[in-house]
Amino acid sequence: MIEKVLIANRGEVAVRVIRACRELGIRSVAVFSEADRESLHVELADESICIGPASSTDSYLKIENIISAAEVADVDAIHPGYGFLAENAHFAEVCEQCRIKFIGPSAESIRRMGDKNLARQTMMEAKVPVTPGSDGIVSNRDEALKIAQQIGYPVLIKAVAGGGGKGMRVAHNDVSLAQAFMTASAEAERSFGNAGLYMEKFIERSRHIEMQVLGDQHGNAIHVGERDCSIQRRHQKLLEESPSPALSEKQRKHLGDIAVRAVKAVNYSNAGTVEFLYDIDAEEFYFMEMNTRIQVEHPVSEEVSGIDLIKEMIVIASGEPMTHRQEDLEFHGHAIEFRVNAEDPAHQFRPAPGLLKNIHFPGGRGVRVDTMVYPGYEILPFYDSMIAKIITHGEDRREAIAIMARALDEFMVDGISTTAPLGLALMNNDQFRRGDYDTNFLEKFMEEIHFDEE
């Protein structure tokens, strides 16, 4: 079993991994930038090492600094969390070369699934349904126009190395496609160092459904239920829930079987997420991508399944068989996660860094809060704006919503703006309560909602 883990990350995910390590009797090592010296993960870990200045490129993305810290601390494993180096195949290879276990999938799996075009081809070979689109990378604008005419508008242009909505554009005609192709390619080159694009049919009324999966080094693979991530703004998720209110039990089982097939197709080991687009009108699922890491929204799956996914990652990385079998899994109740970001939703989600003069998180039955902030903590402008995740669990969706509404009403913060008021407004919206929403819902909702001006 792994005895000492370095967490190559910061914020609430670093705190989450430290907690799992402590419960397993594993020593933890935090790394931090100079700006993060007062962060909670630094305080909670058994050891901590500074790895560079505030800039991510000089600290959390600096592979040599992280490996040096791992060697100094004499760890036998590294957990990458999510973001930063979590889906960096080269980092996984370096860990292996240094005889440090990478708590995640193999470099080959990361590389294969990280290339969106290659992932698409792999899934097609495994008989996993994919949206109609290009057979490979679209080399130029003229080829893009030809493919669009074949599959029909609207079309979605996506960066092969993409993520977070970057290098992604929707086009509804030849003129907008020509412009979108150039801007998406340039954005992909800036963001990922890879200008490659592929195309697929854009489904106008869709839901974003993803399956939490686990695979081990002994050929075992399971799914841990689905999450509905359709409440999002510009491809950035804001709220996730499990199970999806849109699916029947038959659809749920079908999607789980497809996800497990995808895991086995790439001989995948450790935690991952297979993401699907659900065509509401056609009632069809299409593979989007596979995230080869733990997700921000993993707590909702933990709450309904009872599985500690971070602990399971460590067990699998140790070379042991996973501790759960599909036939033994039982799902209970309903869980919702809302991301509290340091942003001002009343002003186009403007970033709101600054000093947290005071903060009070909700509690009580059915409430879980994953965070790294405390009164007096300064929200830094260098990193992601998420400061907490509020997760609620109820016997059914109605109760989970009621608990979330109560929790967000209890949440108090002084010093910065957050997305919490938006979350409360969502909980009180009749359409959301009915579960009648798609990926376009939040954008329309924002046009109707009015926030009190301070």
Enumerate the active-site residues: 293
Tokens of 302: 């933990």
| Calculated CA dihedral for residues 379, 383, 384, 390, nearest 10 degrees | -40
For residue 49, the cross-strand partners are 31
Residue 96, H or E segment: helix 89-97
Q: What is the DSSP string of 280-346?
A: TTTTEEEEEEEE-S--TTHHHHHHHH---HHHHHHHHHTTPPPS--GGG----SEEEEEEEESEEGG
What's the first-to-final CA gap in the chain, in angstroms?
A: 53
| Cβ–Cβ < 8 Å for 86, 110 | no
Angle, helices 174-192/141-151, rounded to nearest 10 degrees: 120
Q: How far apart are CA 52 and CA 62, in angstroms?
A: 8
- Helix (H) or strand (E) holding 185, with range, is helix 174-192
